[in-house]
Amino acid sequence: MGYKVFKTGLLHLDRMLGGGIIEDGTLLVVYYTGSYGWALGVEIFKSFLSKGWYGIVANYSLPYGLLRKYAMAVRFALQTLGKEERLAVIDVFGSVNGIQPKEPFVYSFGQIDGSTFLPKILALYKKMIEGRPKRIGITVTVDGFVEIFGENTGMKILKRNMALKENFPRSKGEEVLNIFLVNRDRVSPRFLSWLSQYAEHIVEFKPTSRPGVEEIRVVKSLLPDFEPSGGIFKFKKGMVEILPTSRD
């Protein structure tokens, strides 16, 4: 195949993805208002950190204090892992709203706009990843990114970043994964269509009539063993579970 594939740690999800997440790939998690689909992205992020990977949280949507509360709700020790230098937070929300970071692992870079954002975040990212060959990033959230920059400018930034990655490939031995969280109620269908084109894997959620129970579907994966499929997603007491449907 020519690419490494990394298991998410969730057995049925890996089966639905066709084996796991492709190296240097992006897993796009698409959910709706009121969904706990975002918790799946955090659970995968936690799984890789438990294996010794370095985590980078790109925060576009929440004040850091509220981000910590969301993390606590899904039993993610954000503060502890940050203090242990096992993850860092790039606080774009704080940067654009004039909030000064109070923790050494939370980074901001002052005023930014569509023209200055990418050079600043890439310079910061380069500094953060030095000596950390295995790393996973989670974007919280893409709709927050769109709110800051707008859909047209946001798409230009994402495309430019992809072009830069293509021109400057990773060093030998580096392993990188990305998780994008997006609330589909906060972006246009056009933007979501563009974003979906550039993701190697797409997981979507739909509500059911049962509290804490949602439908989960893997609608895209670029792995050769993939076939579109669905399952049941459950959230209870900060824990997530994925089960096959009765017909699987």
Residue range 194-213: mean pLDDT, rounded:
96
- Among candidates 220, 211, 219, 217, which has minimal Cα distance to 232? 217
Domains and CATH numbers, the chain: 5-244 (3.40.50.300)
**Residue 169 pLDDT:** 72
With a pLDDT cut of 90, the percent of the chain lying above it is: 87
CB 233 within 8 A of CB 32: no
> CA–CA separation, 121 vs 111, rounded Å?
12
In angstroms, what is the C-alpha Rg of the chain? 17
> CA–CA separation, 243 vs 7, rounded Å?
17
Residue 172 Cα to chain centre, angstroms: 24
Q: What is the pLDDT of residues 96-149, one digit of tens each?
A: 999 999 999 999 988 888 899 999 999 999 899 989 999 999 999 999 999 999
- Print burial letters for 47-71: b (CB count within 10 Å at least 16), e (below 16): bbbeeebbbbbbbbbbebeebbebb
**Residue 175 pLDDT:** 93
> CA–CA separation, 214 vs 37, rounded Å?
8
> CA–CA separation, 154 vs 147, rounded Å?
9
**Residue 247 pLDDT:** 52
Residue range 227-244: mean pLDDT, rounded:
95
Q: Which residue has the tokens 């709110």?
A: 147
**Residue 170 pLDDT:** 73
